[in-house]
Amino acid sequence: MTTIGAAQLPEQLRQKADQLRIHSIRDSIRATTQAGNGHPTSCCSAADIVATLFFSVMRYDPKNPRNPDNDRFVLSKGHAAPLLYAAWAEAGLFDPKELLELRTLESDLEGHPTPRLSFVDMATGSLGQGLSVGIGIALNNKYLDKTSARTYVVLGDGESVEGSVWEAADVARHAQLDNLCAIIDINRLGQSDPTMLEHNLDTYKARWEGFGWHTICVDGHNHAELLNAFSKASQTAQKPTMILAKTFKGKGIPFAEDHPSWHGKPLNPEQAEEVIALLNQSLSSPTPSLPISHPTTVQRANGSAKPLPAPHYGPTDSVATREAFGEALAQLGEVNSLVVGLDADVKNSTYTDKFGKRFPERFFENFIAEQNMVGAAAGLAACGKIPFAATFAAFFTRAYDFIRMAAISQSNIKLMGSHVGVSIGEDGPSQMGLEDLAIMAAQPGIVVLYPSDAMCAYRLVETMANHKGMVYMRTGRPKTPILYDQNETFTIGGSKVLRQSDNDQLTIVAAGVTLFEALTAYDDLLQSGITVRVIDLYSIAPIDVATLKHAAKATNNLVLTVEDHYLHGGLGDAVLSALSTEGVRLHKMGIREIAHSGKPAQLLDRYGISARAIVEKAKHLVAS
């Protein structure tokens, strides 16, 4: 191998890009041909961009992609995964022969990237998410670790229509992320049609400049222009840079280049061999090597955590669980330097402002941009931080695709959704989180917690931080009584039996505000000679199957669930699933219709989850 001088760098990079195209054709296209699917043309349009980044611009350890001092690369257009894999293989991380296993069950080189691979920070492929993840990484490097590491994100032109991209654009500008450089691979063609703007770079430029980004237009196949653009980006202060790269889909494949019918379509073996031979002609022998710049090591806080101090709530206090969350998060910040907070312009309602005021350097306001908040949290988690992101539970629904991709990534993010159920009162149904348990528990591996009192909520925040993986906590708006003392412990997958006897006729399972309604109903039922067992199911997923089975068996297999949530997919369905093989007669009480504004107590009664409604239902079940 010989090394070429700096004057010949553009030619050197052209050859490296063609080498990546060969990988994307010889290996990836052969693999996608065998699989019958794939996106080789999308890889070829971005090959020059990726080659320039990996073999001239970025500083990273090619043998250790998780080195925290590396410049980071996020492939937002995840369908170009073969190009990403080829770049790391060419950098020496693994044998290029492994590329032939693309999209097979035996390989982690999947159709779209996931963090099963050491060089992937976040699963991409559901488009419009990579820039938000890049923001989280850039926030970490600029404001937390204070390193010189830069973040590069390659987006497709089609995905730039996504609203989440423009959320990210605004937040990145506000945060002055001059260590963030995004590149749009403007290859003109989407999946089914040309993109809206096609190659109209002037309009792209006006939009990104309007969002406050330093914007540069280049020929995305001209390495000298790319090098110059990346150099300018690195010298730009107080604002992120967007490089708009005009490219051609299928570049290097003569019969597919700029042709609208080749998206997601593999070449047949004869076509693949023809293109490989053509590209091989452009390579010199021996192939020039390109030295990779290694990063500078920075000292970081180790984040060793101490136990939280005991909560200060007394037995006669009345405290909202959302408030206890905020207090615990602020205390957590004192004992664990890895904890960071994010909010979406409701911090005075979620009480994350307690953390923000105490640790402003570790708190990131996303304004009303919930999608970006979740994506940025995932980026921060990829840097080893423990991000807590909070908003109203109802507003997490608009970020659900980000939550889904974070679950696929097994991201270590912690989410808190407040203002749940009809118990929020007068604000009405648009503000009521009534489907959050269903959407969160639907994703595998997510822990879903629903504390009923402040003591439980406070303790579970610490548990969330210590758990490796994604956690969602559901909190309420109204103040509720204190149920537990300071020495009570709460575990993921646990529950608490609050009322029981040897003669219980029915098990009532509840959480949140309905738990207090169930306890009131218990007293009323006791006066009528009916004894029931009451369980606080504070962990929805995983669920305490053993306790539920034992309680059901002790109460003639008769179980009633009560929840301030839509009936489908909530607490009741979680209990039903846990007891489905036990021959249990389970009855669910929850919200069955679109709710109305009103006083919380009125709404609980109107929609059949009040103590009065529980008493009525329990009497009917016991008598039948």
Mean pLDDT for each consecutive 10-residue tract of the chain (624 residues)?
Answer: 57 88 66 61 92 96 95 96 94 92 90 95 96 98 97 97 97 98 95 92 98 98 97 98 96 86 74 83 71 80 79 95 98 97 97 98 97 98 98 97 97 98 96 98 96 98 97 97 96 98 98 98 98 98 98 98 97 98 96 97 98 98 95
Identical fold for domains 13-280 and 318-481, yes or no, is yes
Beta strand residue intervals within 460-531, DSSP E: 471-474, 480-481, 496-499, 506-510
Q: Domain segments of the chain: what residues? A: 13-280, 318-481, 496-623
Backbone angles phi, psi at 590, to 5 degrees: -170, -165
On whether the CB atoms of residues 405 and 464 are closer than 8 A, the answer is no
59 class by beta-carbon count within 10 Å (0-12 exposed, 13-18 middle, 19+ buried):
middle
Q: What is the pLDDT, as a whole number, of residue 140?
A: 98
Sign of CA dihedral 380, 386, 391, 394: positive
Catalytic residue among 327, 370, 517, 563: 370
pLDDT computed for residue 176 by the predictor: 98
In 3-state terms the chain splits into helix, strand, coil percentages (rounded to 5) of 45, 15, 40
Measure the CA–CA gap between 3 and 56, rounded to whole angstroms: 13
Residue 150 CB contacts under 8 Å (≥ 6 apart), including other chains: 58, 59, 71, 72, 138, 141, 179, 180, 181, 234
Q: How far is CA 322 from CA 380, 390, 418, in A?
A: 23, 10, 6
Return the pLDDT at 270.
81
Query: Cβ distance 176 to 239 under 8 Å?
Result: yes
Classify strands 496-499 and 532-536 as parallel, antiparallel or unpaired. Answer: antiparallel
Is the bond into 286 cis (omega within 30 degrees of 0)? yes
- In angstroms, the CA 39 to CA 44 distance is 9
pLDDT for position 300: 75
Specify whether 370 is catalytic: yes
Q: Check: CB of residue 540 under 8 Å from CB of residue 498.
A: no
How far from 99 is each of 25, 81, 86, 106, 218, CA to CA, in Å? 10, 11, 7, 12, 30
Bridge partners, residue 279, by sequence: none
3-state secondary structure of 338: coil
Instruction: Give the type of residue at 327.
Output: E
Task: Please give the span between the terminal C-alpha atoms of the chain, in angstroms, as a whole number.
Answer: 85
Q: What count of other Cβ atoms lies within 10 Å of the Cβ of residue 453?
A: 26
pLDDT of residue 333: 97
- Rounded distance between C-alpha atoms, residue 592 and residue 489, angstroms: 34
Do you find a cis peptide bond into 291, omega within 30 degrees of 0?
no
Amino acid at 566: Y
3-state secondary structure of 529: coil
User: How many C-beta atoms surround the C-beta of residue 318 within 10 A?
Assistant: 12
Predicted local distance difference test score (pLDDT) of residue 6: 59
Residues 360 and 347: beta-carbon distance below 8 Å: no
**320/453 Cα distance (integer angstroms):** 7
Domain 496-623, second-level architecture: 3-Layer(aba) Sandwich (3.40)
Cα angle 491, 493, 495; round to 5: 75
Short-list 572, 558, 334, 599, CA closest to 450: 572
Residue length of the chain: 624
Give the model's pLDDT for residue 2: 34
* 402 to 333, 371, 424: CA distances (angstroms): 25, 6, 26
Q: What is the 8-class DSSP label of residue 307?
A: P
Would you say 383 and 141 are in contact if contact means Cβ atoms under 8 Å apart?
Answer: yes
Cβ(452)–Cβ(321) below 8 Å: yes
| Coil, helix or strand at residue 441 | helix
pLDDT in the model for residue 304: 65
Rounded-to-integer distance, Cα 268 and Cα 279, Å: 17
541 contact partners, CB below 8 Å, separation of at least 6 = 440, 441, 446, 447, 448, 574
Q: Which two tokens stand for residue 302?
A: 């180790």
The domain 13-280: what is its CATH number?
A: 3.40.50.970
Of the candidates 64, 11, 12, 7, the residue with the CA atom closest to the CA atom of residue 291 = 12
Query: Looking at domain 318-481, does it have CATH number 3.40.50.970?
Result: yes
Please tell me the distance from the alpha carbon of residue 6 to that of residue 365, in angstroms, as a whole number: 43
pLDDT of residue 1: 29
Q: What is the pLDDT of residue 31?
A: 56
The predicted structure's pLDDT at residue 287: 61
